[in-house]
């Protein structure tokens, strides 16, 4: 019998924008009942940000809020506060990413939350941990810049560069999910909840750990696998050089479009088949190229030889040829390539959903598959779509619900 992995777990989602919603969406996909709390009349600010269809929820919002229920609630009103207290008593997890101290100033500090529900797991996502930056605001790119990503991304002679992957927001959200699930498991043994705190700067640095590794390696000399000619006292930007121990580079392919590239990694055992494909069998035993140590001195020449071949072939044909001889590679796929990739739809990772305001849109599915707990991806909720349903579940009568609406509490 199939059951949802997080069935029975109820989450009070007081998050907004991306870091928090990415966490709660993942848990909603896995079967948790996620109640998204939003301000009446406005909702999560991303509903209206980057809007491409007039008077409809933006894709920014829909992409981060699948499988949730939306409740409008104004906790600045007495009725709203009372309602929030009821929800805290009935939920397993409260997660928020307000600015530091916002929830406490509204009367919901950790002590009060524990009094209301000793089993509650209270998760917070902030920009920074305790210390000099604790009260500073953070956004995706700020987290990347202060977590070590930007300083190590880009060309050696260029400016620090942020990555297109949302490692500051969604990366932190995933870290938060791990903390929440660990706290829920711990509660099974102790009967009590606990606080879970995740800082965006910390999550980014955790994802940049190989660069922190290299910072310490610099004490013993240059980083030989890097293509850089000079090293200072910090890890340099190194373009598309591999972060592992094997050299890699993005090489141009036919017909020469902006994303007609393939990333190729030269493993020790891959040199011979690569040279045979390139028609350069003479370099297989050439002492300047025959060993990984020798090639480190000629990496630019090595990749130039390979690119002379790849530039005449499509990136997908390069991939097919290199996979035949077990050489790691990957074509650079544009977002157009990906959204048109039918294999992603066939395995349920891209899903086309119908939305009552904007029509059909493509939603990413759950990146985790579980043999006994398949995920059914649902559209994001309209603002307040489930307010009456949730208030009835909390025992409010139709008259009380009408009065709360008139008072601006919901």
Instruction: Select from 14, 165, 175 the least CA-distant residue to 104.
Output: 14
**Closest to 122 measured CA to CA, from 198, 203, 64, 44:** 198
Taking the C-alpha atoms of residue 194 and residue 122, their distance in angstroms, rounded to an integer, is 6
Interatomic CA distance for residues 308 and 253, integer angstroms: 9
Consecutive H or E run containing 404: helix 398-406
The encoded tokens of residue 306 equal: 């390979």
Task: With residue 48 as reference, give the H or E element that holds it.
Answer: none
Instruction: Decide if 250 contacts 313 (C-beta within 8 A).
Output: no
Residue ranges with strand state E in 169-305: 195-199, 248-252, 261-265
Alpha helix ranges (H) inside 191-270:
200-207, 209-217
Active site residue: 13, 33, 169, 202, which one? 169
- For the chain, the first-to-last Cα distance in angstroms comes to 38
167 C-beta neighbours (distance < 10 Å), count: 22
The torsion angle over the Cα atoms of residues 77, 78, 80 and 81, rounded to 10 degrees, is 120
Reference 28, options 351, 365, 346; nearest CA is: 365
Token pair belonging to 171: 């990366």
- The CB density around residue 383, as the number of other CB atoms within 10 Å, is 19
Sign of CA dihedral 307, 313, 319, 324: negative
| Active-site residue, 169 included | yes
Burial (0-12, 13-18, 19+ Cβ within 10 Å), 300: exposed
Residues annotated catalytic, as ranges? 169
């Amino acid at each position: 019998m199939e059951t949802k992995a997080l069935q029975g777990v109820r989450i009070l989602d007081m998050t907004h924008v991306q870091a928090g919603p990415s966490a709660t969406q993942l848990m909603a996909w896995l079967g948790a009942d996620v109640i998204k709390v939003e301000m009446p009349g406005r909702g999560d600010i991303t509903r209206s940000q980057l809007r491409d269809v007039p008077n409809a929820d933006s894709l920014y919002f829909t992409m981060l809020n699948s499988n949730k229920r939306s409740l409008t609630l104004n906790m600045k009103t007495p009725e709203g506060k009372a309602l929030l207290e009821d929800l805290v008593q009935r939920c397993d997890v409260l997660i928020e990413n307000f600015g530091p101290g916002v929830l406490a100033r509204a009367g919901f500090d950790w002590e009060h939350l524990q009094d209301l529900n000793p089993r509650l797991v209270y998760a917070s996502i902030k920009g920074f941990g305790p210390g000099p930056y604790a009260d500073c605001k953070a956004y995706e790119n700020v987290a990347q810049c202060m977590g070590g990503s930007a300083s190590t991304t880009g060309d050696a002679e260029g400016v620090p560069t942020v990555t297109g992957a949302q490692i500051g927001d969604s990366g932190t959200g995933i870290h938060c999910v791990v903390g929440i699930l660990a706290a829920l498991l711990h509660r099974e043994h102790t009967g009590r909840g606990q606080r879970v705190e995740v800082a965006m700067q910390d999550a980014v640095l955790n994802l940049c750990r190989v660069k922190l590794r290299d910072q310490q390696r610099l004490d013993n000399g240059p980083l030989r696998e890097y293509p850089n000619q000079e090293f200072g006292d910090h890890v340099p930007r190194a373009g598309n050089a591999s972060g592992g121990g094997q050299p890699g580079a993005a090489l141009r392919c036919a017909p020469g479009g902006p994303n007609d590239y393939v990333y190729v990694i030269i493993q020790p055992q891959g040199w011979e088949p690569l040279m045979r494909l390139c028609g350069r069998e003479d370099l297989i035993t050439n002492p300047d190229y025959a060993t990984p140590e020798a090639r480190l001195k000629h990496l630019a020449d090595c990749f130039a030889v390979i690119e002379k071949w790849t530039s005449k072939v499509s990136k997908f044909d390069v991939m097919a040829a290199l996979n035949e001889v077990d050489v790691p590679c990957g074509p650079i796929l544009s977002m157009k390539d990906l959204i048109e990739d039918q294999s992603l739809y066939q395995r349920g990772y891209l899903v086309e959903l119908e939305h009552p305001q904007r029509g059909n849109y493509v939603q990413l599915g759950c990146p985790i598959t579980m043999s006994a707990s398949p995920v059914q991806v649902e559209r994001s909720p309209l603002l307040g779509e489930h307010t009456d349903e949730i208030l009835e579940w909390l025992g409010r009568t139709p008259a009380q619900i009408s009065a709360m609406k008139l008072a601006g509490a919901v």
